[in-house]
Amino acid sequence: MSKIEQNITADQDATSANNAKPAEGQKVFIKTFGCQMNVYDSERMSDALAKDGYTPTDTPEDADLVLLNTCHIREKAAEKVYSDLGRLNQMKKKRMDEGGSDLMVAVAGCVAQAEGEEIIKRSPVVNMVIGPATYHQLPDALGRARKGERVVETEFTEDDKFEHLPKAEKKQIRSRGVTAFLTVQEGCDKFCTFCVVPYTRGAEISRPVSQLLSEAQDLVDAGVREITLLGQNVNAWHGKGDDGREWGLGELLHRLSDMEGIERLRYTTSHPRDMDAALINAHRDLDKLMPYLHLPVQAGSDKILKAMNRRHTRDEYIKLIARIREGRPDLAISGDFIVGFPGETEDDFEDTLDLIRQVKYAQAYSFKYSPRPGTPGADFKDHVPEDVKADRLKRLQALLSEQQLEFAETCVGKDMDILLEKPGRKPGQLIGRSPWLQSVIIDAKDAKIGDTLRVRITKAAPYSLMADVI
Ligand code: 5AD
Ligand code: SF4
């Protein structure tokens, strides 16, 4: 679309001269950085933009609007955004020189929230900066940006953005597959001293039960078979249940488990302090709740846990896992680790390795500590040199990889149900997911995506399992 045509479209928006949607025929490319919450948010923004007339595209070259949904959790994440913006600037210039269509650029997510106005100053290509709390204002903000305003929307408002964000169409849900994310909780009140989330995502809010049940029903009606409940601190979710009682995540999982059509439930990310008895018992009582728990500990030394403001000891964490495993012995644990937090000595680090040996992780994510401006940790003394951090990360990852492979190998010869999610690389192959989140490759003639199949695992590779249909 030429620039002139685009301006006409924008004017139609302003005057409502006809019923055409403001961006009819335009294409949007969304790039998502960071966590699953951002994946969910990108889907909801895509739904909102679809109502505005935008259709999704897989390439920025093809797009009229590029939306970067950003992550601020570690340093490199923000750097990647700025380098993407540099590339988009070049692309826009080239397009204009060649007489092509205009390009609008929007920055959303946690970098948008944290940097706000600064992004507009640093990157001339950016038309709009929108923080996670204001996504329901996206169409309105875009309308203003189309008229030439450089928009910054980063206020935390009282509005329930989820109430205002449009629902996804059935065909959009279908196009996203048989597994789906559902954000139930946002923000965090824990204030771990390394973490920006309480500042970028704000205070904890829980979405109301009625909203969640209705969204879950829409997902199931469109063919979704597995739902992962999301929250920065998902097990802090609470709300008034449809039985009039106050519920926690355990009760919500019970209710969702009764919903016909849902076959599998998961939730992430949890804080050890918020694993209450109802949630622990849900692991024992609900077959649909998968035996896999992402329960970050970050470090294994009490001194570092205290400095991180995690508000639990290593022993409490180890005992908690033992308690959940009592009710669900096949529970696999996944974790997050930070090495080189300020003040971490070799002995503290050895404590982390020791904790890992005791817990035995099926899967884990590990990072070098990255000081985030505005967080207490950034001002702590005794920062650990980069080469020491790098060395510790290498040793930690070697141990975690060993455990991951060990876990995969224990699956060989086992029978399990897998949910088929997508086609495999070779003809006739399908890829499913084990209860423990592993990719399982099978040769299946009669099966189709969305089916749950009983299989026997024949081989373990580093990132996937091979299986025969039983
Ligand atoms: N430096 C390194 N890792 C971090 N994480 C959060 N903040 C930081 C930081 N400043 C890690 C934690 C968290 C995961 C999402 O990212 O391990 O659980
Ligand atoms: Fe960050 Fe800690 Fe909150 Fe997790 S619990 S989001 S690490 S502050």
Q: 190 CA to middle of ligand 2, Å?
A: 6
467 neighbors 424 (Cβ within 8 angstroms): no
Q: How do residues 50-65 score in pLDDT, each as one tens digit?
A: 988 999 999 999 999 9
Residue that finishes a domain, picked among 409, 442, 458: 409
* Pair 178, 239 in one domain: yes
Residue 447 belongs to what domain range?
A: 415-469
All residues at 6 or more sequence positions from 14 whose CB lies less than 8 Å from its CB, including other chains: 143, 147
Nearest ligand for residue 378 CA = 1
Ordered DSSP codes for 295-323: ---B-S-HHHHHHTT--S-HHHHHHHHHH
* Pair 254, 303 in one domain: yes
Strands 104-108 and 128-130: parallel
31 neighbors 41 (Cβ within 8 angstroms): no
Mean pLDDT of 297-325: 98
Q: Smallest Cα–Cα separation from 177: which of 219, 143, 130, 142?
A: 219
Q: 191 CA to middle of ligand 2, Å?
A: 6
Displacement of CA 20 from its chain's centroid (Å): 34
* CATH number reported for the structural domain that contains residue 453 in this entry: 2.40.50.140
Q: With 70 as the cut, is the pLDDT of residue 429 above it?
A: yes
For residue 405, how many other CB atoms are within 10 A of its CB? Answer: 13
Q: 270 CA to middle of ligand 1, Å?
A: 14
Nearest ligand for residue 308 CA = 2
* Pair 352, 460 in one domain: no
pLDDT category at 463 given cuts 50, 70, 90 is confident
Mean pLDDT of 257-263: 97
Q: 33 CA to middle of ligand 1, Å?
A: 14
Q: With 50 as the cut, is the pLDDT of residue 219 above it?
A: yes
pLDDT at 441: 97
* Site to substitute for ligand 2 among 113, 233, 375, most atoms within 8 A of C-beta: 233
Q: Which atom of ligand 2 sits closest to the CA of residue 188?
A: 3
All residues at 6 or more sequence positions from 110 whose CB lies less than 8 Å from its CB, including other chains: 34, 70, 71, 72, 73, 132, 196, 197, 200, 201
* Pair 219, 287 in one domain: yes
Mean pLDDT of 348-369: 97
Give alpha helix (H) positions in 105-181.
Answer: 109-115, 117-122, 138-146, 161-164, 170-175
pLDDT at 25: 84
pTM: 0.91
Nearest ligand for residue 373 CA = 1
* CATH number reported for the structural domain that contains residue 45 in this entry: 3.40.50.12160
* Pair 127, 234 in one domain: no
Mean pLDDT of 272-292: 98
Furthest-apart CA atoms within the chain: distance in Å: 71
Reduce the DSSP state of residue 285 to 3 states and report it: helix
pLDDT category at 158 given cuts 50, 70, 90 is confident
* Site to substitute for ligand 1 among 76, 305, 367, most atoms within 8 A of C-beta: 367
pLDDT category at 3 given cuts 50, 70, 90 is very low
Instruction: State percent of the chain over pLDDT 70.
Output: 96
- What are the pocket residues of ligand 2 if the criterion is a CB atom closer than 6 Å to any ligand atom? 188, 190-192, 195, 197-198, 232-233, 271
Cα distance between residue 33 and residue 434, in whole Å: 25
* Pair 17, 128 in one domain: yes
Mean pLDDT of 105-134: 94
* Site to substitute for ligand 2 among 73, 185, 192, 370, most atoms within 8 A of C-beta: 192
* Pair 357, 439 in one domain: no
* Pair 123, 190 in one domain: no
Residue that finishes a domain, picked among 94, 129, 153: 153
Nearest CA to ligand 2 atom 5: 190
Q: With 80 as the cut, is the pLDDT of residue 233 above it?
A: yes
Which of 21-30, 424-433, 453-462 shows the lowest mean pLDDT across its residues?
Answer: 21-30
Rg over CA atoms, the chain: 23
246 neighbors 231 (Cβ within 8 angstroms): no
Q: 188 CA to middle of ligand 2, Å?
A: 6
Q: Smallest Cα–Cα separation from 404: which of 432, 453, 437, 430?
A: 437
* Pair 72, 122 in one domain: yes
- The mean predicted confidence, pLDDT, of the chain is 92
* Pair 243, 262 in one domain: yes
Tokens of 200: 């970028």
Q: 372 CA to middle of ligand 2, Å?
A: 13
Q: How many domains does the chain have?
A: 3
Q: For residue 351, what are the CA distances in angstroms to 58, 290, 348, 354?
A: 45, 30, 5, 5
pLDDT at 20: 67
Nearest ligand for residue 312 CA = 2
Residue that finishes a domain, picked among 125, 153, 181: 153
Instruction: State percent of the chain over pLDDT 90.
Output: 82
Q: 370 CA to middle of ligand 2, Å?
A: 14
Ordered DSSP codes for 187-242: --S---TT--HHHHT-S-EE--HHHHHHHHHHHHHTT--EEEEE-TTGGG-EEE-T
Tell me what percent of the chain is helix, strand and coil, each rounded to the nearest 5: 40, 20, 35
* Site to substitute for ligand 1 among 195, 273, 369, 370, most atoms within 8 A of C-beta: 195
* Pair 292, 421 in one domain: no
Cα distance between residue 442 and residue 39, in whole Å: 27
Q: How do residues 78-99 score in pLDDT, each as one tens digit?
A: 788 999 999 999 999 999 999 8
Nearest CA to ligand 1 atom 14: 336
Q: Which residues does residue 230 pair with via DSSP β-bridges, in sequence order?
A: 183, 268
* Pair 30, 52 in one domain: yes
Q: Smallest Cα–Cα separation from 141: which of 67, 200, 199, 31?
A: 67
- What are the pocket residues of ligand 1 if the criterion is a CB atom closer than 6 Å to any ligand atom? 73-74, 194-195, 296, 298, 336, 338, 367, 369-370, 372
* CATH number reported for the structural domain that contains residue 340 in this entry: 3.80.30.20
Tokens of 265: 């439930």
Q: For residue 415, what are the CA distances in angstroms to 67, 329, 411, 468?
A: 43, 16, 8, 9
For residue 413, how many other CB atoms are within 10 A of its CB? Answer: 9
Q: How do residues 4-23 score in pLDDT, each as one tens digit?
A: 333 333 333 333 344 567 77
